[in-house]
Amino acid sequence: MTRTPGIAITVNGARQEVPGPMTVDQLLDHLRTDRRMVAVERNGQLVRRGEFATTRVVDGDQIEIVSFVGGG
């Protein structure tokens, strides 16, 4: 049996092991997060939406994902 290598990251303050390395896009897919209404920060730096597909998430990264909620 072959085990997929994983990476340990922190997402919104919670330590997680995910398959990796991966891109921010792939992480959002893995977490089943709708990327249309979120902002992502990687190690204290905002990741622009246009860079989700090219920004790598690697072992030890700290990721913050903020969802926008409409209402009034």
Element (H, E) at 45: strand 45-47
Amino acid 72: pLDDT: 61
**Domain residue spans of the chain:** 6-66
Q: Give the model confidence (pLDDT) of 15-63 as tens digits.
A: 999 998 899 999 999 999 988 889 999 999 999 999 999 999 999 999 9
Structure tokens at 23: 């891109």
Q: Give the model confidence (pLDDT) of 2-19 as tens digits.
A: 556 799 999 999 999 999
Element (H, E) at 66: strand 62-67
b/e 19-29 (16+ beta carbons within 10 angstroms → b): ebbbbbbbbbe
Torsion of CA 24, 27, 31, 36, to 10 degrees: 30
Written out in words, the top-level CATH class of the domain with range 6-66 is alpha beta
pLDDT confidence band for 65 (50 / 70 / 90): very high
Amino acid 4: pLDDT: 61
